[in-house]
A and B are shown apart, each in its own frame.
Chain A
Amino acid sequence: MTGLKRVFIVALALLMVVTSVFAQGTKEDASAGKQIELTVLNYIDMSEPNSANEISMVWDKFAAENPDIKLVREDLFNEPFHQKTEAYVASGKVPDVLYMWPSGRSTSLHTTKSVKDLMPFLQKDGMVDDYNPATLAPQFAGFLGELPNGLTTTHMLYVNTKVLRENGLSIPKSYAEMKAMVGPLKAKGIDLIAMDNMDAWVMQSCLFSMVVGRFGGTDWHDKVAAGTLKFTDPWFVKSLELIDDMYKSGMLNRNSLSSPYGSSRGSFAAGKAAFYIDGDWSTASFQTDITTGKALVSPASQQNDFELMVIPNLPGEVISNSNSGVVGTGWGMSANIPAGSAKEAAAWRLIKYLQGEYVQTYRLSTGASFPSNLNVDVEKVVKEKNLEPFIAKRAAYYAAYTTITPVIDGVLHSDVYNVINTGLQEIGLGSKAPSQVASEVQKAWETWKKNQ
């Protein structure tokens, strides 16, 4: 018994010595500054073309060029990404460098000031003029929480002109013309519009925000905030009624409510629908994967059989051909990193690289984003690198639709936009009337306002 006790005590003492030695060792490594470790939360859809390639083209390249920095990267996508981010914010342990939105799902990163203002870093390095000024505007909490990739338009109407041609139809010039296509296409078993509405944000972000802008004008949010517009007023009710009409007339299939995000791109490319609604970012999913050489839509077909546009004129709209847009996603830096530390310098070096000329040119070539960095000459890159037709068509699309209205989840609080998201699905199910949803949104807005 005593012998056993002795063995136990010696083992315990040894364990303590060993653990303390290792703890000390880590401290020494850090202070010696051999390699600075940065935790990174990356947003990547591994099922998209060129995703695997991004690892070697972007991340491995940085690692090779910066041997003094060790990146511990976490790759996530869609809901798991946002939930993990919220958990990080709640625990106060935000990764050193992380992908984020200027508002919307990253709201809490901004409001809790979990990330640093990047404007002083840009100013210190004299880099303010390197970026499109519109992308450097203060974000949700009034500071530059993330350095954006570019500007994003959240509505894009992808048109399969081959399907239209084969059915004796042409690109519609008005909503009414588009609606009239439902019958002839349905007779052939083709849907008019493919859209994935199971995730509640898709309808709000990729269609409804644009519609609200058409009926409410570019400054609807300012007017709502000032109390001169209400969600129960005609501009908003009409917007909801339009969505209701799209479902009732068969322009939008109610089955889209059971379609997970991204799942109908293949069906659209295969000609099962004449139109597809998503954000501009989805052009990347149709392009060729460099590694496998495969594409949902081949470059030749992109040139001849597809067009990128916005929904044509709506009856009763106050502005035409407008689109909904927001400053793009980008990279932020954790506020936990001590100011002036070597770690802060390393994190800023990474962010500068990720939004620098090389990475933004690469992202342009894969269609992932259009650059915010003015050193990237889009036209030149398209010509020199012989990029796929969707890139050039996307540039033309940005030039054609210059009136940009707010994206709902970019300007409203989640207590309000979640009610809109669910209300749009209720309209899709046919279980709530547009006026009822409008009242609920107004009530949510008033409650939120009261609590501020």
Chain B
Amino acid sequence: MPKEHTLLDAKREQKRAYWTLVLPGFLIYISVMAFPTIFSIFLSISDYNGGKLFGGKPISFVGLKWYGRLFVDEYFYLALKNNLYIVLVSVFGQIPLGFFLAYVLYRGIVKKADFFQTMIYLPTVISTVVIGILWKSFFAPYGAFPELVRLFNPTYEYGISNHPMLPVLFVILWMYTGMYLIIFIANLQKIDGAVIEAARIDGASETQVLGNIILPALSGVLVTTAILAISGSLKSFDLIYVMTAGGPANRTSVLSIYMFDKAFKGAPNYPLANAISTVMVIISFALIGLTKWVEGKFGGRE
């Protein structure tokens, strides 16, 4: 005789289904995100200096020694400042530019929208290493950039400017704007065209349509892109590493390169490198929290 299904069975089944679906993701999250982050904090207050973690030389705790060393190093602040430049270029450069370009293409203000969309997005699909090498050669002392400038100003002499970060920031802007363009275009296409048309019939100008319909509708997307930009900026490594490796004299270094140098250049200092990574996580949380607060305070509703 078949067994009768009770309410209890259904709940148990639901619970089992819930765990079956959630557990793999939860375990992956714990093993590749939560555990390394916590372990990194643990290493940052230890004297671990390479070798076997378990069964090797015993590890002892040294408190906040490495954080103390970090906060008196001028190059830490230099790297942090460069990271903040990248955050600024990303949030106030890539996002507005990406939005502007997406808006221009979406509203059909220019012809051949597909062509422009492809061209602007193209840098995103090229390998970062290739892009880094390309621009490194472009800005090199005997590279194309000085030669191009000399076409207009024959007496021009290429020199290390007081802002060696400028070429790097330019490349970052060029490379990632396309990604935001695609995100904005995809979300703009979700807005009901009839609403915009109705507003135009009612006499709303292009600016009013943008300010009163499109921007409020996209406020959530703007926050998401800002979070992406901030977290992406803080972890930026590959492009800068290939272009300048943080040099000269750490002038183009960022926190991730600073951390990498401490871990892998010369005698490794793993606790210090882990202290840097912990600081990076804290800064990242703080900036994302700030973004969420700004959205809560001033953002519209989708």
Contact = CB atoms under 8 A, between A and B. Distances in A.
Chain B associates with chain A: yes
A200 B247 contact: yes
Interface residues of A, number: 40
Contact of A255 (B159, B245, B266, B268): B159
A255 B141 contact: yes
Contact of B268 (A108, A258, A431): A108
Of A92, A111, A256, most buried by chain B (CB within 10 Å of CB) is A92
A257 B248 contact: yes
Contact of B248 (A87, A112, A197, A418): A197
Contacts, number: 90
Given A258-B164, A422-B250, A112 B51 contact: yes
B264 to A, nearest CB: 4
A76 to B, nearest CB: 13
A428 interface: yes
A414 interface: yes
B50 A258 contact: no
Interface string B252-271: 00000000100111111010
B182 to A, nearest CB: 32
A272 B142 contact: yes
Contacts of B142: 263-264, 267, 272
Contacts of B136: 260
A255 B270 contact: no
Given A90-B51, A200-B247, A426-B249, A258 B160 contact: yes
A428 B141 contact: no
Given A108-B267, A414-B267, A90 B249 contact: no
Of A79, A108, A428, most buried by chain B (CB within 10 Å of CB) is A108
B248 A255 contact: no
B244 interface: yes
A12 interface: no
Instruction: Label chain B's interface by main secondary structure.
Output: loop
A253 interface: yes
A422 B141 contact: no
Contacts of B265: 82, 414, 418
A413 B247 CA distance: 21
A112 B164 contact: no
B273 to A, nearest CB: 11
Contacts of A87: 264
Contacts of A83: 260, 264
Contact of A86 (B159, B245, B248, B263): B263
A430 to B, nearest CB: 9
A208 interface: no
B3 interface: no
Given A89-B50, A263-B140, A429-B160, A257 B247 contact: yes
Contact of B266 (A89, A198, A418): A418
Interface string B43-83: 00000001110001000000000000000000100000000
B266 A107 contact: yes
23 contacts: A83-B260, A86-B264, A89-B50, A90-B270, A105-B266, A108-B268, A198-B244, A200-B248, A255-B141, A255-B158, A255-B159, A256-B141, A258-B140, A258-B160, A258-B164, A259-B140, A259-B141, A263-B142, A272-B142, A414-B267, A418-B266, A429-B248, A429-B249
Interface of A: 79, 82-83, 86-87, 89-90, 92, 105, 107-108, 111-112, 197-200, 253-260, 263-264, 267, 272, 413-415, 417-418, 422, 425-426, 428-429, 431
- 7 tightest CB-CB pairs across the interface, nearest first? A414-B266, A425-B249, A257-B248, A255-B141, A83-B264, A414-B267, A86-B264
